Structure 1
Amino acid sequence: MPRPDTTQEPGVFASLSHQLLDAFGTLAADQLVLPPDGVTAVVLAYNEALRFPHFLDHYRTLGVRHFIVVDNASDDGTGALLKGQADVSVIETHKPYRDYKSVWRQLLCDRYLQERWVIFPDVDELLVYPGWSDLSINDLTRYLETSGYQALFTPMVDMYPDGPLNNLSYQPGERFLDCCPWFDGDGYRYNPLKGSHGKRYKTPARHVFGGARERLFHQQAKRPRNALDRWLLGSVFSLQAKASDTAFGRKLDHLLFKLVKNALPSPAAVQSKIPLLKWQTGTCFSGGVHGIDREVSAAPDWGVLLHFKYLDDFKSKVAEAINRKQHTDNAGHYLDYNFQIENLMDKGLRSSVSRRFKGVETLIDCGLMRETPALRNWISRLR
């Protein structure tokens, strides 16, 4: 298979090669051989041998053509598991994840994937969308491109088991949903980011917050909610609300959000991403793939990233993250997890707002997924 072409000038290409070597510490990042078309997944991983078998099965079934995996010094057999799989290219690196996670994605896409559709899932995330599992990811990207969209927005929905995490015994290759079919069907909001972060990263205009993660770990606010707060959260910032596409509307959203922000938990974890994107050279993510530093036309349809953090290795994963200190705020959110760890391991995550996943219609009913008539018609024509 020929090496991918590049449209960059020779001097720029040489500079990019040097950047790849500096960011990864290996020549392998500049020597990949990829298929010339199809959706490519760019995946950053550390010690994910437990989840990779089903993760790969899921995305292969969707139609992902190739996987670029940045293996950040795994020591659990992840590298051996991936070695020799024809549709997986592995780049091993010991560079610190916290410093390079956004750079790695950007450089790889600038080098190999200009003007191509790329998906950026974590290994504990499974993308689903309207029409899943009848609609391939290639059919989805054709719909997006034909309709003039360059990205798909997705809430992140934490999935969990029926009972205590201590009762689980997940085995590699088993379907995540067979183990963790429950999620919070209520308790979300859809609002802009506050501060300079929201100004720097233009897409999306709003993010989803709440769900199981906030219910369990982030409940403290500066003041109790009043009647105005409840009205704003139930209307202007509900999941059903529409983000403004004008400068005036976005400014109004930020002004209204100032009225309610002190009644919301702090810190508040962002529960949405832009994981599927037609790559434009120089695009920069906000660390993770939560935000993009430019305005990109995202579809009004929403997918969902089903998030499978709560398997029986949750306790060891939290301890590992705290020890490595490679995540945001020196793994500060993992310290919050650790505070509740024994309760979750012994009692589980189920609550009065829990719903069982029975297909994407369940997510549409909750407002966590959106399907426009245009996409519905597209799907019906393909059937």
Structure 2
Amino acid sequence: MPGPETRHEPDGQSALGRQLSDAFGTPKADELVLPKDGVVAVILAYNEVLRFPYFLDHYRRLGVGHFIVVDNNSGDGTGALLAGQADISVIETKQPYRDYKSVWRQLLCDRYLADRWVIFPDVDELLVYPGWPDLSIGDLTRYLDAGGYRALFTPMVDMYPDGPLKDLSYQPGESFLESCPWFDSDGYRYNPLKGSHGKRYKTPVRHVFGGTRERLFHQRAKRPRTVLDRLLLGSVFSLRAKTRNSALGRKLDHLLFKLVKNALPSPAAVQSKVPLLKWQTGMRFSGGVHGIDRQVAVAPDWGALLHFKYLDDFRSKVAEAIARKQHTDNAGHYLDYDTQMDRLMDEGLRYAGSRRFDGVSALVECGLMRESSGLASWRPGSDQA
């Protein structure tokens, strides 16, 4: 249970207070009341009335103690849905998402959540991890603390329905997994970022790429794959490859990656995040929560963010994103979605490599989740406990 509430009184003349007021366009961001302990979720939202009921149910069942929701000018009733819920603090802002998405998270965490566990899910993402659903997020963070870890790495796993998207009729509060239980079981890789971005954002050392989004939307490469490419992608850069954390190991990774990068799709969407962090003041994200600008002790275990983009509002969400132009590259990825929209609506997303999610063991078997012997022996009910 969350401890007593702590009121953080505004000191309007402080530099951080001024930054908060400027970034959100309201002094409310400097006047929140939060529980003293427990995991806090920081969420950026725009028009999410369809997903919020089940999203909140999932994270409350995990044991998240409080939600800070930045409502970026929603017009679909999101604000009314969230109002009056004791475990939710809402900050309404009209500031442009594209300019402030990282700043909002960072300032809130610096102000309220230093040295506390924070989770950063989007409203279409459900965090799962080894031991879910029996292992609470509080117990997971206690395991992470005991091991000296300050972050959990997660592939993003796109989930989709059995048939055409036009046949979906999802209703608020229904299980995301019952509507969209399928995911791509193959077609992923685990490699470093290219160029200066990878050098600036030191955690994680590697990211996951591929999966559903690349299969459907991003297949262009500069050259065909060779035997060497297939060998490296099937071993050094496979999902099951070990992370090289040393400076020499990172350099070797980048050298080997140069050999294959021209055989890989471009653009390539990052399909992993570091959504669960013990916040350190001054941390900076790479746009979303894909990378952090300092070295952080990441657990050997992987969770997963089950990603529910493909509900029956997919067409309207894509049109909305293109019109707002608040996402990376003026919503360039959403333009790619739009070119395939009619096919997805009529044919759906399933293919020969689709697998039905029947628990986290399905992700472990595909390499999309990892459980160390430490966590396996630590958590209650484990065969090794």
TM-score under structure 1 normalisation? 0.97
Code of the residue aligned with 2:145 in structure 1: it is E
1:72-92 CA distances to partner (integer Å, 9 max, x unpaired)?
A: 000000000000000000000
Partner of 2:98: 98
CA distance in 1, matches of 2:377, 2:236: 29
Maintained 8 Å contact 2:8/2:31? no
Cα displacement (A) at 1:108: 0.1
Maintained 8 Å contact 1:4/1:112? no
Question: Helix, strand or coil for the counterpart of 1:59?
Answer: helix
CA distance in 2, matches of 1:267, 1:106: 27
CA distance in 1, matches of 2:38, 2:5: 15
Question: Helix, strand or coil for the counterpart of 1:380?
Answer: coil
1:265-320 CA distances to partner (integer Å, 9 max, x unpaired)?
A: 00000000000000000000001000000000000000000000000000000000
Partner of 1:310: 310
Maintained 8 Å contact 2:153/2:303? yes
Unaligned runs of 5+ in 1: none
Unaligned runs of 5+ in 2: none
Maintained 8 Å contact 1:222/1:262? yes
1:181-200 CA distances to partner (integer Å, 9 max, x unpaired)?
A: 00000000000000111010
Question: Helix, strand or coil for the counterpart of 1:229?
Answer: helix
Partner of 2:84: 84
Question: Helix, strand or coil for the counterpart of 2:34?
Answer: coil
**Residue-pair matches, total:** 380
CA RMSD across the alignment: 1.4
1:159-208 CA distances to partner (integer Å, 9 max, x unpaired)?
A: 00000000000000000000000000000000000011101000000000
Partner of 2:377: 377
Partner of 2:155: 155
1:335-377 CA distances to partner (integer Å, 9 max, x unpaired)?
A: 0000000000010000011000000000000000000111011
Cα displacement (A) at 1:5: 5.7
CA distance in 2, matches of 1:280, 1:199: 20
Are residue 33 (structure 1) and residue 33 (structure 2) matched? yes
CA distance in 1, matches of 2:209, 2:195: 16
Code of the residue aligned with 2:33 in structure 1: it is V
CA distance in 1, matches of 2:150, 2:8: 22
Cα displacement (A) at 1:245: 1.0
Are residue 206 (structure 1) and residue 206 (structure 2) matched? yes
Cα displacement (A) at 1:379: 1.1
Code of the residue aligned with 1:190 in structure 2: it is Y
Code of the residue aligned with 1:179 in structure 2: it is S
Partner of 1:277: 277
TM-score under structure 2 normalisation? 0.97
Question: Helix, strand or coil for the counterpart of 2:379?
Answer: helix
CA distance in 2, matches of 1:149, 1:350: 37
Are residue 123 (structure 1) and residue 93 (structure 2) matched? no
Partner of 1:323: 323
Partner of 1:52: 52
Cα displacement (A) at 1:104: 0.1
CA distance in 1, matches of 2:28, 2:309: 30
CA distance in 2, matches of 1:144, 1:14: 33
CA distance in 2, matches of 1:303, 1:212: 18
CA distance in 2, matches of 1:258, 1:243: 17
Alignment of 1:1-383 (within 5 A): 2-4=5-7, 14-380=14-380
Code of the residue aligned with 1:296 in structure 2: it is V
Give structure 1 regions of 4+ aligned residues with deviation exceeding 2 angstroms. Answer: 1-6, 380-383
1:75-134 CA distances to partner (integer Å, 9 max, x unpaired)?
A: 000000000000000000000000000000000000000000000000000000000000
Code of the residue aligned with 1:110 in structure 2: it is D
CA distance in 2, matches of 1:277, 1:75: 31
CA distance in 2, matches of 1:317, 1:332: 14
Maintained 8 Å contact 1:239/1:368? yes
Cα displacement (A) at 1:381: 6.2
Maintained 8 Å contact 1:191/1:237? yes
Code of the residue aligned with 2:20 in structure 1: it is L
Code of the residue aligned with 1:186 in structure 2: it is D
CA distance in 2, matches of 1:163, 1:256: 40
Question: Helix, strand or coil for the counterpart of 1:203?
Answer: coil
CA distance in 2, matches of 1:169, 1:381: 37
Code of the residue aligned with 2:111 in structure 1: it is R
CA distance in 2, matches of 1:199, 1:267: 19
Question: Helix, strand or coil for the counterpart of 1:34?
Answer: strand
Maintained 8 Å contact 2:8/2:33? no
Cα displacement (A) at 1:380: 3.1
Cα displacement (A) at 1:378: 1.0
Code of the residue aligned with 2:156 in structure 1: it is M
CA distance in 2, matches of 1:58, 1:142: 20
Identity of aligned residues (%): 77
Maintained 8 Å contact 1:3/1:32? no
Code of the residue aligned with 1:46 in structure 2: it is Y
